[in-house]
Amino acid sequence: MPTHGSMTKAGKVRKQTPKIPAKPRKNPPPRLRNRVKYKKLLEQPAQVVGGRRRRR
């Protein structure tokens, strides 16, 4: 049964590719972002504005 390439060529392209440093993130990761949104929405007490309860 023929194989797809020899073991001597394994990983050749990846090793030759130059390493590019990662760009810094603009936004926090989704897990942290969702936690902040949850706190902002639910954990803060509802404020009374103009006689009406309003969640902020």
- Distance from C-alpha of 7 to C-alpha of 22, rounded to nearest angstrom: 30
pLDDT for 54 beyond 70: no
pLDDT value for 28:
87
Give residue-wise pLDDT tens across range 1-30: 566 667 787 788 888 999 999 999 898 899
Enumerate residues 6+ apart whose C-beta is below 8 A from 56: 44, 46, 47
Kindly report the pTM of this predicted structure.
0.37
Helices and strands (DSSP H and E) totals, the chain: 2, 2
pLDDT confidence band for 55 (50 / 70 / 90): low
Question: Within 10 A of 28 (CB to CB), how many other CB atoms are there?
Answer: 11
